[in-house]
Amino acid sequence: MPEDEKKKSTEHQFEEEEPRIGVYACHCGSNIASVLPPAEVAKYAESLPGVVVANDHHYMCSEPGQRMIQEDIKKHNLNRVVVSACTVAMHEPTFRSCISDVGLNPFMFEMANIREHDSWVHSHEKEAALLKAKELTAAAVAKVSYARPLDMFKVPVTKRALIIGGGIAGISAALDLADMKIETYLVEKTPSIGGRMAQLDKTFPTMDCSICIEAPKMVDVGKNPYIHLLTYAEVRKVDGYIGNFKVEVEQKPRYVDADSCTGCGLCVDVCPITVPNEFEDGMGPRKAIYVPMAQSVPVTHTIDMNACIKCYKCVEACGDLSAIDFAQEPEIIELDVGAIIVATGYDTWDPTPLEEYGFGEYENMLTMMEIERLHCAGGPTIGEFIRPSDGKIPASLALIQCVGSRDKRYHEYCSGFCCMYTIKNALLLKWLYPEMDITIFYIDLRTPGKTYEEFYERAREAGIHFIKGRPAEVLEDPVTKNLIVHAENVTLGTHVALEVEMVGLATAAIPSAGAADLGRVLTVANDGYGWFLESHPKLKPLDTPTEGIYLAGSAQGPKDIPQCVSQGSGAAGRASRVLMADEWEIDPIVAYIWPDRCLNAKGGKCTICYDVCPYGAVINKPGSGEPSQIIPAKCHGCGTCVAECPANAITQHHFTDGQVIAQIHSLLADNPEGKVLAFTCRWCSGMGADNAGTAHFEYPANTRIIMVMCAGRVDPDFVMEAFRLGAGAVLVSGCHPQDCHYISGRQYAGDRMERVAKQLTRLGISPERFRVESVSATEGAKWARIMQEMSGTLAELTIAKIKEENAQAHPKLARRLNRLKQVPGVAPVLRLSEEMRLQGIAGGGA
Residues that bind another protein (CB under 8 A): 270-277, 280-285, 288, 306-313, 315-316, 350, 352, 360, 363, 370, 374, 380-381, 386, 388
By beta-carbon proximity to another protein, the closer residue of 22 and 292 is 292
Which phi and psi angles does 103 have, rounded to 5°?
A: 95, 0
Nearer to another protein (CB atom), residue 313 or residue 837: 313
Min CB(366)–another protein separation in Å: 8
* Cβ 387 to another protein shortest distance, Å: 9
Q: How far is the CB of 234 from another protein (least distance, A)?
A: 21
Residues 165, 138 contacting (CB under 8 angstroms): no
Nearest to 775, CA basis, from 736, 833, 806, 731: 736
Q: How far is the CB of 786 from another protein (least distance, A)?
A: 49
| Dist. CA 7–CA 10, nearest whole Å | 5
When the beta carbons of 312 and 529 are compared against another protein, the nearer one is: 312
> Phi and psi dihedrals of 422, rounded to 5?
-65, -45
Instruction: Report the Cα 117 to chain-centroid distance in Å.
Output: 26
Minimum Å gap between C-beta 274 and another protein is 6
Nearest residue (CB) to another protein, 250 versus 281: 281
Distance of closest approach, residue 304 Cβ to another protein, in angstroms? 9
CA distances in angstroms from 840 to 49, 130, 660, 831, 835, listed in the order given? 12, 19, 21, 14, 9
Cα–Cα nearest to 279, from 264, 290, 269, 271: 290
- Whichever of 239 and 361 has its CB closer to another protein, that residue is 361
The H-assigned helical ranges of 146-229 are 168-179, 210-223
Closest CA to 142 of 53, 60, 80, 69: 80
Question: Residue 376 or 787: which CB sits closer to another protein?
Answer: 376
* Sign of CA pseudo-dihedral 534, 535, 539, 540: negative
Helix (H/G/I), strand (E/B), else coil: 450: coil
* Identity of the residue, 84 or 348, whose beta carbon is nearer to another protein in the bound complex: 348
Helix, strand and coil in the chain, % to nearest 5 = 35, 20, 40
Distance of alpha carbon 363 from the chain centroid: 42
Q: What is the largest CA-CA distance in the chain?
A: 97
CA distance 323 to 318: 7
- Distance from C-alpha of 197 to C-alpha of 542, rounded to nearest angstrom: 21
Nearer to another protein, 369 or 775 (CB): 369
Q: Least distance from C-beta 363 to another protein, angstroms?
A: 7
Residue number with CB closer to another protein (304 or 560): 304
Q: How far apart are CA 183 and CA 181, in angstroms?
A: 6
Q: For residue 364, how many other CB atoms are within 10 A of its CB?
A: 22
Under DSSP, the state recorded for 628 is: P
Whose Cβ is closer to another protein: residue 186's or residue 283's? 283
Can you tell me the distance from the alpha carbon of 277 to that of 602, in angstroms, rounded to the nearest whole number? Answer: 60
**Beta carbon of residue 484, minimum distance to another protein (angstroms, whole number):** 22
Closest approach of Cβ 419 to another protein, in Å? 24
d(CA 507, CA 405): 7
- Identify any residues that bridge with 671 across adjacent strands, giving them in sequence order: none
* Angstrom distance (rounded) from CA 348 to CA 403: 11
Q: What is the DSSP string of 766-804?
A: -GGGEEEEE--TT-HHHHHHHHHHHHHHHHHH-HHHHHH
Burial class (CB in 10 A: 0-12, 13-18, 19+), 816: middle
Q: How far is the CB of 518 from another protein (least distance, A)?
A: 23
Amino acid at position 804, single letter? E
Specify the residue, 10 or 306, whose C-beta has the smaller distance to another protein: 306
Beta carbon of residue 306, minimum distance to another protein (angstroms, whole number): 7
CB neighbour class for 6 (10 Å; exposed up to 12, middle 13-18, buried from 19) = exposed
Q: Please, what is the minimum distance in Å from the beta carbon of residue 426 to another protein?
A: 20
**Residue 9 or 352 with smaller CB distance to another protein:** 352
Q: Which is nearer to another protein, 190 or 544 (CB)?
A: 190
Smallest distance from another protein to CB 612, Å:
41
Rounded to a whole number of angstroms, the minimum distance from the CB of residue 106 to another protein is 57
Sheet with 339-342: strands ordered across: 227-231, 183-188, 160-164, 339-342, 549-551
Nearer to another protein, 282 or 828 (CB): 282
Q: Which residues contact 627 (CB under 8 A, 6 or more apart)?
A: 593, 595, 596, 598, 600, 601, 649
**Beta carbon of residue 439, minimum distance to another protein (angstroms, whole number):** 22
- As measured in angstroms, the least distance from the Cβ of 307 to another protein is 5
Residue with smaller CB distance to another protein, 59 or 326: 326
Least distance (Å) between residue 503 CB and another protein: 14
What is the rounded CA–CA span in Å between residue 770 and residue 786? 12
Shorter beta-carbon distance to another protein: residue 288 or 613: 288
**Closest CB to another protein among residues 283, 787:** 283
Choose between 367 and 567: whose C-beta lies nearer to another protein.
367
Using DSSP bridges, classify how beta strands 339-342 and 549-551 pair: parallel, antiparallel or unpaired.
parallel
**Smallest distance from the beta carbon of 275 to another protein, in angstroms?**
6
> Which residue, 386, 457, 396, 450, is CA-closest to 423?
457
Answer whether 337's CB lies under 8 Å from 162's CB. yes
